[in-house]
């Protein structure tokens, strides 16, 4: 029987199998940020242990960094976390991309764009959206703080091997439909727990035709349906994206690497524990109506009604809609929005800003809308400027901010006030995710751009 792509990479990194227990897995790359790493470094310090392979670790602050200025972090807790990360990296000899430097940004944007994440790798970080890096053809998983300490100390981790699932998407996407819409559609079909216990490989003609940025968006959202990891087989799109980047192999080493990476695909006779297929033409621009990413509909559809639901399902839906201030069966298209957010490790890449600009060019932002447009890295920000996208945004009434996790989560100044409605390209719409009492609708950069112009939730196809 053939092997899946996940199996091939996993098996190549097994150090030993623990009898009646987990697998000791070698880790090629550990990413660390300021939120989940301090306790891990304290563990090493308490046990008088050095970092085993500091050259395999890269760290940067992102969650607490402000997007309006980066001279000072006013929040004392956030400032302490960023300062502690810098001190830990200096003490243990770890590569540190400091706030405000050209190397900094959101860790899940910087990793792939610098080719620190490469096909065939095992990659971990104390952050659930580490699944993003699987788009380059790697096993990438979020881990807990105690597991971060394990990797720092041994470059290994104890993990139970997940089951495998292949999600095929076939056909051609309709105009106005993006990778973000694919992800929101799959989550709505499978629910936020539909892939629990699985590592998901995305395949099919639609996936093969996605750009690298689109693949990163799709893999980023794998965790939101319970998956342990998301992965996409590397191909010419992957190689073209990585070639020439800062930490990519060079010269003969590049040619040798590509030949090896071409073998990273699921065998034709590989058997997955579960396999599902969706059709691209069934996917429209999507929005969410509830307080989890799976509670979504097409932008021109109505919120579900209570009809046919069990008593517990009705209660659950009522709780979500009460918080969101929506009604069963109503249409959300045309609902006024207060805030728009373009950014996050989901949609903070150059392609996302190009898409946003394609909608707003020659138009004006609605006066009442507060807009946060936040690149995922300093490299993305420079690309925006080099391509003149910043001028398009400025003429339309938008401000280009500084790289940060920003309004993806309420850990920095970009908080949506209680009761206000935000339409966001981020990955989560949990209660209070963008600020205490804030209401969040998830959408693609195109849908967010259209809504920013009209001031209401808008189908982007009407402005294409």
Cα 136 from Cα 397, distance rounded (Å): 35
pLDDT reported for residue 352 = 98
Task: Give the C-alpha separation, 455 to 368, whole Å.
Answer: 7
- Which residues have C-beta within 8 Å of that of residue 225, sequence separation ≥ 6? 186, 187, 190, 191, 192, 193, 194, 195, 196, 200, 293, 294
Q: Report how far residue 254's alpha carbon sits from residue 280's, in angstroms, rounded to the nearest whole number.
A: 34
Annotate 39-63 with b (16+ C-beta within 10 A) or e (fewer): ebbebbeeeeeebeebebbbbbbbb
Q: Write out pLDDT tens, residues 44-97.
A: 999 999 999 999 999 999 999 999 999 999 999 999 999 999 999 999 999 999
For residue 447 the two structure tokens come to 């849908």
What pLDDT, on a 0 to 100 scale, did the predictor assign at position 258? 98
Indicate the burial class of 235 (C-beta count within 10 angstroms; 0-12, 13-18, 19 or more).
middle
- Please give the sequence-ordered ranges of beta strands (E in DSSP) within 187-228, or none if there are none: 198-203
For helices 350-360 and 212-220, the axis angle rounded to 10 degrees is: 100
Tell me the pLDDT tens digit for each residue of 279-338: 999 999 999 999 999 999 999 999 999 999 999 999 999 999 999 999 999 999 999 999
Phi-psi domain of 421 (left: phi exceeds 0; alpha: psi -120 through 50; beta: other): beta
**pLDDT tens across 331-384, in order?**
999 999 999 999 999 999 999 999 999 999 999 999 999 999 999 999 999 999
Mean pLDDT of 7-15: 98
Structure tokens at 208: 């093969």
Give the per-residue SS3 of 364-427: CCCCCCEEEECCCEHHHHHHHHHCCHHHHHHHCCCCECCCCCHHHCCCCCCCCCCCCEEEECCC
pLDDT, the chain, mean: 97
Name the burial class of residue 228, with classes exposed (0-12), middle (13-18) and buried (19+) by CB atoms within 10 angstroms of its CB.
buried
**Residue 425 pLDDT grade (very low, low, confident, very high; cuts 50, 70, 90):** very high
Where does 171-259 show beta strands of DSSP type E? 198-203, 229-231
In angstroms, how far is CA 192 from the centroid of its own chain?
Answer: 15
- Domains along the chain? 1-284 (3.30.499.10), 287-462 (3.30.499.10)
CA 118/CA 355 separation, integer angstroms: 26
DSSP code of residue 178: -
- DSSP for 447-460 reads HHHHHHHHSB---G
- As a whole-number percent, the residues of the chain with pLDDT over 90 amount to 99
Cα–Cα–Cα angle for 249, 254, 258, nearest 5°? 120
Q: Is residue 351 within 8 Å of residue 217, measured between CB atoms?
A: no
Q: Are 304 and 322 in contact (CB under 8 A)?
A: no
């Amino acid at each position: 029987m053939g092997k899946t792509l996940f199996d091939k990479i996993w098996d190549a990194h097994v150090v030993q199998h623990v009898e009646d227990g987990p697998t000791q897995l070698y880790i090629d790359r550990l990413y660390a940020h300021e939120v989940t790493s301090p306790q891990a470094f304290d563990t090493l310090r308490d046990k008088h242990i050095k970092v085993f392979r500091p050259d395999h670790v890269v760290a940067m602050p992102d969650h607490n960094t402000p997007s309006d200025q980066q001279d000072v972090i006013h929040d004392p807790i956030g400032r302490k976390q960023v300062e502690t990360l810098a001190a830990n990296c200096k003490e243990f000899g770890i590569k540190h991309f400091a706030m405000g430097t050209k190397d900094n940004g959101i860790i899940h944007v910087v990793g792939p764009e610098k080719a620190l994440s490469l096909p065939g790798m095992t990659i971990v970080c104390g952050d659930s959206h580490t699944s993003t890096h699987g788009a380059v053809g790697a096993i990438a998983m979020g881990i807990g703080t105690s597991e971060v300490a394990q990797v720092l100390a041994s470059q290994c981790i104890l993990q139970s091997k997940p089951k495998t699932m292949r999600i095929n998407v076939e056909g051609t996407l309709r105009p106005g439909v993006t990778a973000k819409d694919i992800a929101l559609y799959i989550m709505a079909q499978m629910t936020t727990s539909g892939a629990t216990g699985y590592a998901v490989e995305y395949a099919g003609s639609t996936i093969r035709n996605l750009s690298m940025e689109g693949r990163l968006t799709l893999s980023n959202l794998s965790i939101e349906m319970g998956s342990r990891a998301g992965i996409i087989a590397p191909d010419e799109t992957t190689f073209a994206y990585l070639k020439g980047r800062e930490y990519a192999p060079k010269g003969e080493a590049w040619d040798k690497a590509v030949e090896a990476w071409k073998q990273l695909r699921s065998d034709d006779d590989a058997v997955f524990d579960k396999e599902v297929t969706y059709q691209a033409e069934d996917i429209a621009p999507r929005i969410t109506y509830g307080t989890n990413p799976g509670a979504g509909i097409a932008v021109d559809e109505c919120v579900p009604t209570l009809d046919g639901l069990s008593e517990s399902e009705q209660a659950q839906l009522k709780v979500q809609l009460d918080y969101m201030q929506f009604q069963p069966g109503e249409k959300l298209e045309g609902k006024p929005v207060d805030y728009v957010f373009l950014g996050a490790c989901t949609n903070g890449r150059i392609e996302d800003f190009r898409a946003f600009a394609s909608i707003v060019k020659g138009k004006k932002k609605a006066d009442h809308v507060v807009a946060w447009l936040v690149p995922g890295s300093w490299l993305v920000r420079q690309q925006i400027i080099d391509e003149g996208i910043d001028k398009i945004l400025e003429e339309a009434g938008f401000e280009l901010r500084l790289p940060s996790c920003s309004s993806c989560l309420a850990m920095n100044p970009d908080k949506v006030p209680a009761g206000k409605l935000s339409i966001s390209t981020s990955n989560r719409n949990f209660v209070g995710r963008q600020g205490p009492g804030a209401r969040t609708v998830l959408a693609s950069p195109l849908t967010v751009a259209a809504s920013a112009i009209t001031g209401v939730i808008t189908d982007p196809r009407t402005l294409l």
